[in-house]
Copies of this chain bind each other. A is one copy, B any other.
Amino acid sequence: MKHFFTVGPSQLNANIEKYFKKAMLQNVGSISHRSQAFRDIYKNTDLQLRKLMNIPNTHSIFFMPSASEIWERMITNCVQKKSAHFMNGAFSKKFHEYSQSLGKQTQTFILEDHLGFNDLHKYKIDDDVELICVTLNETSSGAYIQENELVKLKKQHPIKLICADIVSCAPYPKLNFKYLDCAFFSVQKAFGLPAGLGVWIVNDACLEKSKTIKNKSAHHSLENFVKNYATFETPSTPNVLDIFLLGEVATEMNNTGIDAIRKTIEERAKILYDLPLKNKNLEINIANKKNQSQTVVVFNTKIAAQEIIKKLALKNIIIGSGYGAFKTTQIRIGNFPAVSEKAFKSLVKELWNV
């Protein structure tokens, strides 16, 4: 049996087959997305996510096929002219590219890939920027932006919309949605589910903005989402199975308790970040402790990354390579809740010796 420590898709929740069977018994694959049975599924997943991530009623929860589609829909729905982007890795750069491709003007703040942003509120953002895009957890580098940075940023720019890409860290971050207009993630990371679902959390300010923008998608416009959300429906047939499974996993996480989940993630992250003390072939990519991701841990490797990856694969431990240009010089480890204590210990033991 293989154990996945990849940064997503990653290890599936241990009860996934049980939840799939439950889904089949409830005909989740056959029911209409206009039926009460579907509305009950949506409602439950919505409720469990609110509890887990402390999402207030000021925000709606919409289901999309992926987080990368949400990059695009945030721009098409909420930007007429200009977006601003904090960029320090491949995925924050992709978000920026999406905006450019859609013909928008952009303002960019760029750090090298081994650095993390701090004091975001001190950056001078142009007056005509409508949306500020923050990648809280840069999956390519393991750089994290502390949650309170979002609060300071919003206080500095109360009129602008702020969105946080929390793709590879949700539900770990303690977000204060009073100071955040939008957050989004996908389920194949820390929720341990098969890919095919993105979760889009948005407030009324985003909706109001979207009403002012013309010639945008009929398919996934915020207005369509809001209209359907009134009865816990979706604009078109969604990935009902994944919505159901997300409800089950979020319920399980609520039963464990988000604080306990955070504690485990942090304890394991500490063990991972301590590895270079024992193994001189590993060096932490993000030097500044404040910016070290707890869910995506990236090491520079003194030997070829592929050697380490192959060696671990022989023990059925699957980790990721560095992203893009860092493919042969870095390893990436997804520190997600679906991993068992036993599997985590095996990982650590193997990484001592590579």
Which chain B residues lie closer than 8 Å to A199 at the CB level? none
* Interface stretch of the complex, out of A174-182, A214-222, A290-298: A214-222
CB distance from A223 to the nearest CB of B (A): 10
A11 close to B30 (CB less than 8 A): yes
Which chain B residues lie closer than 8 Å to A320 at the CB level? 32
B24 close to A9 (CB less than 8 A): no
- Which of chain B's residues has its CB closest to A20's CB? B20
A12 close to B29 (CB less than 8 A): yes
CB distance from A208 to the nearest CB of B (A): 19
Main SS of chain A's interface residues?
loop
CB distance from A332 to the nearest CB of B (A): 11
In the complex, A149 has a CB within 8 A of chain B: no
B215 close to A102 (CB less than 8 A): yes
Copies of this chain, whole number: 2
A215 close to B28 (CB less than 8 A): no
Q: Contacts A29-B9, A237-B195 given: A219-B2 contact, CB under 8 Å? A: no
Q: Give CA–CA (A215, B216) in the complex, Å.
A: 12
Q: Contacts A30-B9, A31-B9, A193-B29 given: A66-B218 contact, CB under 8 Å? A: no
Partner of A101, one of B24, B196, B216: B216
Which chain B residues lie closer than 8 Å to A195 at the CB level? 29, 33, 237-241
CB distance from A233 to the nearest CB of B (A): 13
In the complex, A98 has a CB within 8 A of chain B: yes
Which chain B residues lie closer than 8 Å to A219 at the CB level? 68-69, 71-72, 98
B9 close to A65 (CB less than 8 A): no
B238 close to A196 (CB less than 8 A): yes
Q: Give CA–CA (A31, B9) in the complex, Å.
A: 6
CB distance from A345 to the nearest CB of B (A): 19
In the complex, A58 has a CB within 8 A of chain B: no
A28 close to B102 (CB less than 8 A): no
- Total number of A residues with any Cβ neighbor in B under 8 Å: 58
Q: Give CA–CA (A98, B215) in the complex, Å.
A: 10
B66 close to A215 (CB less than 8 A): no
Q: Contacts A16-B29, A29-B12 given: A239-B196 contact, CB under 8 Å? A: yes
In the complex, A165 has a CB within 8 A of chain B: no
Q: Which of A17-57 contact B (CB under 8 A)?
A: 17, 20-21, 24, 27-33
Q: Which of A208-263 contact B (CB under 8 A)?
A: 214-221, 235-242
A9 close to B240 (CB less than 8 A): yes
B102 close to A218 (CB less than 8 A): yes
In the complex, A97 has a CB within 8 A of chain B: yes
B237 close to A9 (CB less than 8 A): yes
Q: Which of A192-208 contact B (CB under 8 A)?
A: 193-197
What are the nearest 10 A-B pairs in CB distance? A65-B65, A196-B239, A101-B218, A103-B215, A29-B194, A68-B236, A194-B241, A4-B30, A72-B219, A98-B218
Q: Which residues of A contact B (CB under 8 A)?
A: 2, 4, 6, 8-12, 16-17, 20-21, 24, 27-33, 65-66, 68-69, 71-72, 94, 97-98, 100-103, 186, 188, 193-197, 214-221, 235-242, 318, 320
